[in-house]
Amino acid sequence: MAFEVYKPKIEKEATVSISKNHITLNKKLISRLNTSYVELAYDPDTKTIRIKTSTNENGLIVNKNRIGTRGFFKHFNIQNKGKYNTIVDENENAIYIYL
> Taking the CB of residue 18, how many other CB atoms lie within 10 A of it?
20
pLDDT band at 23 (very low <50, low <70, confident <90, very high): very high
For residue 34, the one-letter residue type is: N
Flag whether pLDDT at 94 surpasses 80. Answer: yes
> Taking the CB of residue 13, how many other CB atoms lie within 10 A of it?
10
Query: How big is the CA angle at 74 (ends 14 and 52), to the nearest 5 degrees?
Result: 35
C-alpha distances in Å from residue 60, one per residue of 56, 69, 77, 85: 10, 8, 18, 21
Per-residue pLDDT, 90: 84
Q: What is the pLDDT of residues 33-84, one digit of tens each?
A: 888 889 999 999 999 999 998 877 778 888 888 999 999 999 999 999 999 9
Quote the pTM value: 0.81
Per-residue pLDDT, 11: 60
Per-residue pLDDT, 7: 75
Least Cα distance to 79 among 18, 10, 4 occurs for 18
Flag whether pLDDT at 99 surpasses 70. Answer: yes
Fill in the DSSP letter of residue 42: E
